[in-house]
Structure 1
């Protein structure tokens, strides 16, 4: 693994202020997304690493603003953050906070990022307001309006120049599967907060309702629901596995590992079964480590 100072050098980030800005984002991402941070550091080319970290830090900070506190407070925070982000991208300032300074430099280096930042900020209000989905179409509209733009803030840094449409279609499959998996893992937390990411019609198909989930139903029904959702996640991840064949060779091990990490999470969620109503499953650390090591070895072999 290239050292962090050398990684900044390879990315052309040479001024002390910018190096400090990117280093601050590195610390943030390493704390809250250890597996993803390790995958980025191990598997992506050094010149791209600081930019992926800056985009990820922007996503994490934005999500925290959107998800925490009363609705009016969240909407106000989103509006203020959107204004500050757009201003930072529009013109240089000597007084940007480190996150926006890093994001601005990344957007200047990778201009394809800009429309995805804008789409993500526009979709933030939907994220702030949602409490559930009546039908599968509502879930997919949420993905297209918010979750896919959010993912593309990061994934656009890997977009191949010759097949951008196919790449984004693969990213949509990936985020459909991983977002559905997120909602499955977060059943307990979401129910406590008055939200639910599993559509009402999917609950009905399994003989359940939101009220029934709150009342702790027959575990067999919950197992049915978990199997039902897993059966929807798996084909999307299978489609997303084709992403590695669309990108430049240096990016393939990372995307391969990213999809396989989701599959490991899915296996853990299925094993957790009815206990998902009590807590999220533990991270599959052993499986994740194996996936990352194999991807790292394949990177060294040029595949």
Structure 2
């Protein structure tokens, strides 16, 4: 399958093909829901999506996987080194030899004209995670999410293609990236607390009498507290609204890409529904979408994707 994808994408160089293979492996291992959705894309599109995911994951691993072995200063230096190397490879057109993830993502950026500014904004938000552990209000959280989530949607847009000007589809792509991340924030409150972070606006929590201390109590006792449930329900409703803002953007995409994005939206929305179904008991358990449901969504998407490809070929 990977050979078919790389051939379809016109990737011939052996070193570059190996770089894309490594990114695909990273996506398959760490982003199962996202990876499943990518199977609905045309083969020629998939390597680029895997490269973008691989780069984002690589930066994220510097933050979290090295947390127990490297200081904040050391991780900040690693992120800066990554940023500098990417800039030199992408903008100054220096060689990325010896770094397969950068090799793949730089090739993708050049192929699809993805600007350096989107990578720079992403890395700026990653640096925030080194020192920022709480967000006083939604405005502060929005600033973080622009770089950590919205730019991912904007990076994906040229790979997916649009039926009109890209700038008209951009707000929807950004909103979908934000919706996915807000879903993760709700699902991962317990895990994020363990890492010392709270990705929910402090003032909106405080309106329900909730603070970090109460969240920590819930974590320690493995159960929800009524005030926390009410606060999470409010965040849940806000996230639903963001999905509704993003949904019309599917029609702005090139038809062959629509089944993939629709499936991703459905699967992440299902995570949100699962959080509600367990009555926000997110401490000590993880809200997940079962494999049967994922397969049902994927099967429906495969049928639509094939139909779109056949229509595109016949046009």
Aligned pair partner of 1:55 in 46, 52, 56: 52
Are the aligned partners of 1:170 and 1:243 in contact in 2 as well (CA < 8 Å)? yes
Deviation at 1:250, TM superposition (A): 0.7
Indicate whether 1:182 and 2:179 are aligned: no
Deviation at 1:261, TM superposition (A): 1.2
Are the aligned partners of 2:183 and 2:239 in contact in 1 as well (CA < 8 Å)? yes
Question: Following superposition of structure 1 onto structure 2, how do residues 206-245 of structure 1 map, counting pairs within 5 Å?
Answer: 206-216=208-218, 219-245=225-251
SS in 2 for 1:275: coil
Indicate whether 1:13 and 2:11 are aligned: yes
SS in 2 for 1:74: helix
Are the aligned partners of 2:89 and 2:96 in contact in 1 as well (CA < 8 Å)? no
Are the aligned partners of 1:113 and 1:157 in contact in 2 as well (CA < 8 Å)? no
Are the aligned partners of 1:88 and 1:104 in contact in 2 as well (CA < 8 Å)? yes
Judging changes above 3 Å, is the alpha-carbon distance between structure 1 residues 132 and 21 closer, same or farther for their aligned structure 2 residues?
A: same
Tell me the distance in 2 between the aligned counterparts of 1:39 and 1:178.
13
Indicate whether 1:291 and 2:289 are aligned: no
Give the structure-1-normalised TM-score.
Answer: 0.91
Tell me the distance in 1 between the aligned counterparts of 2:294 and 2:23.
23
Indicate whether 1:73 and 2:74 are aligned: yes
Judging changes above 3 Å, is the alpha-carbon distance between structure 1 residues 162 and 114 closer, same or farther for their aligned structure 2 residues?
A: farther
Judging changes above 3 Å, is the alpha-carbon distance between structure 1 residues 104 and 193 closer, same or farther for their aligned structure 2 residues?
A: closer
| Cα deviation code 1:50-90 (max 9, x no counterpart) | 11111110111011113342321221110011111112223
Aligned pair partner of 1:30 in 28, 31, 50: 28
Give the structure-2-normalised TM-score.
Answer: 0.88
Aligned pair partner of 2:122 in 106, 110, 120: 120
Farther-moved stretch of structure 1 (250-259 vs 277-286): 277-286
Are the aligned partners of 1:134 and 1:199 in contact in 2 as well (CA < 8 Å)? yes
SS in 2 for 1:273: coil
Are the aligned partners of 1:126 and 1:146 in contact in 2 as well (CA < 8 Å)? no
Tell me the distance in 1 between the aligned counterparts of 2:52 and 2:224.
42
Aligned pair partner of 2:204 in 181, 202, 205: 202
Deviation at 1:136, TM superposition (A): 1.6
Structure 2: any 5+ residue segments left out of the alignment? none
Tell me the distance in 1 between the aligned counterparts of 2:147 and 2:53.
18
Equivalent residue, structure 1, for 2:134:
132
Judging changes above 3 Å, is the alpha-carbon distance between structure 1 residues 129 and 153 closer, same or farther for their aligned structure 2 residues?
A: farther
Tell me the distance in 2 between the aligned counterparts of 1:92 and 1:258.
35
SS in 1 for 2:3: helix
Tell me the distance in 2 between the aligned counterparts of 1:230 and 1:60.
26
Q: Matched residue pairs, number?
A: 300
